[in-house]
Amino acid sequence: MQKVINKDFKTLNGEITIPADKSMSHRAIIFSSLAKGKSIIKNFSDGQDPHSTLNIFKHLGVDISQDENKIIINSSGKLSAPIQDLDCGNSGTTMRLLAGLLAGQNFNSTLVGDKSLSKRPMKRIIEPLTLMGANIDSDEYKAPLIINGKPLQPINYVSKIASAQVKSCILLAGLGIENNDITSVTEPYVSRNHTEILLKYMGANIEIKNTTVSISKSELKPIEIDIFGDISSAAYFIVAALIIPNSKIILKNVGLNPTRTGILDVAKSMGGNIKILDKREICGESVGDIQIEYSELNGCNISGEIIPRLIDEIPIIAVLATQAKGITKISDAQDLRNKESDRITAVVTELKKLGANIDETPDGMIINGKTQLTGECEVETYHDHRLAMSLYVAGLITQKPIIINGFEWVDISFPNFEQLFNELKQ
């Protein structure tokens, strides 16, 4: 689908509620399906990725129904053998977390994905799971993953990358091991920790020490959870308000877990006028409203421990940096090449078309601003929802309209993205 972005408004103003967090939606379904009893998930994400996870658990024999805005899960606490392949769609989180869970079951299963997911690296999870005794066949470490379920052994795994998907995969494998054996994962920096927080909240034996998380066999209690808004979705509005003159907006009910708020730290360090209002807690997670005003910005360096805290926001941070005075250098972000697209090459190629002064490096990019983006061109989304949304925001400040090819990929995470922008346009 082609989308033409016109500058048919003057500024952004008003309040919107940000839709549900994707990472939390996946985890709420997975952990509730393992908890004996009735769980209720309110405000479940309407993105396609979390729905891939939900559908898979139906195929694993879990009773899942929907009542208005609620997902109701009645689980025996046990999964049953699927009679068909389990389709993860575009979702890396679904495939990597479920590989860990399914490797230790007493049945076989096959995880498949779409074209983009089938190209993404699975060695990062197959390797540790194999060390735990798992039997997983793949085509050179790519999906489909054919899992011959069997009892696993514990591991103390030191991961080279800070990845919540790798960490959660191993923790889910460890959670099922009998005999109270402890499995642990250590990562170089702390990646998003929703798995740890939610499992603890549901009664799991889980311990966190610095960058190491340990787990052993646990009975999970069912939950009632109201999923808060996704800071990764809020990021597009945060950046748009910072770069569109005279904007002032409030984003309601956004998750503020410190392992996800790198975008706020970066935007503030660039001079962004951002305030947190009404901070509160939901199921052990920080939540609040974010107020953002148009600001004069300066470039900055982004590297090291902050990278996992803003990994999904780098495409939209690149757009922000085109409007900041001076150089913004992003490094230590080589894993961006393994996302839904090679996000380093894709972002640099497409923002160059719009007139940005941006160059690729092996592990990131260098942006020199402030540049008036020109537009009057077609840009590509590489089957990547975050590229589509970042280019939309860039298109709001170009001198001439732009055409985005493949805009439908937005639905992977954020079906009402454009509608919410329209509510703020004045």
Is there a contact between 320 and 242 (Cβ–Cβ < 8 Å)?
A: yes
Decide whether 30 or 103 has the Cβ nearer to ligand S3P: 30
**CA dist., res. 296 & res. 245, Å (int):** 9
Is there a contact between 96 and 125 (Cβ–Cβ < 8 Å)?
A: yes
**CA dist., res. 208 & res. 81, Å (int):** 33
Decide whether 13 or 118 has the Cβ nearer to ligand S3P: 118
**In the bound complex, what is the minimum distance in angstroms from residue 2's beta carbon to ligand S3P?**
26
**In the bound complex, what is the minimum distance in angstroms from residue 31's beta carbon to ligand S3P?**
13
Total number of residues that touch ligand S3P (CB under 6 A): 10
Decide whether 225 or 424 has the Cβ nearer to ligand S3P: 225
Distances (CA, A) of 141 to 85, 116, 136, 310, 413: 18, 14, 9, 26, 26
Decide whether 75 or 232 has the Cβ nearer to ligand S3P: 232
Q: Is 257 in the site for ligand S3P (CB under 6 A)?
A: no
Q: Is 287 in the site for ligand S3P (CB under 6 A)?
A: no
**In the bound complex, what is the minimum distance in angstroms from residue 168's beta carbon to ligand S3P?**
6
Annotated active-site residue in 114, 312, 335, 411: 312
Residue type, 357: N
**In the bound complex, what is the minimum distance in angstroms from residue 314's beta carbon to ligand S3P?**
10
Q: Is 312 in the site for ligand S3P (CB under 6 A)?
A: yes
**In the bound complex, what is the minimum distance in angstroms from residue 322's beta carbon to ligand S3P?**
22
- H helix or E strand, kind and range, residue 424: helix 417-424
Q: From the list 23, 109, 193, 295, which residue makes contact with ligand S3P (rule: CB under 6 A)? A: 23
Nearest to 190 by CA among 313, 308, 314: 308
Tell me if residue 278 is catalytic. no
Q: Residue 220 carries which DSSP code?
A: P
Q: From the list 163, 214, 247, 328, which residue makes contact with ligand S3P (rule: CB under 6 A)? A: 163
**CA dist., res. 235 & res. 389, Å (int):** 10
Q: Is 93 in the site for ligand S3P (CB under 6 A)?
A: yes
Decide whether 95 or 292 has the Cβ nearer to ligand S3P: 95
Residue 304 backbone phi and psi in degrees, to 5? 70, -135
- H helix or E strand, kind and range, residue 241: helix 231-243
DSSP 401-420: -EEEETGGGGGGT-TTHHHH
Residues recognised as catalytic: 312
Which residue ranges make up the site for ligand S3P (CB under 6 A)? 23, 93, 163-165, 168, 191-192, 311-312
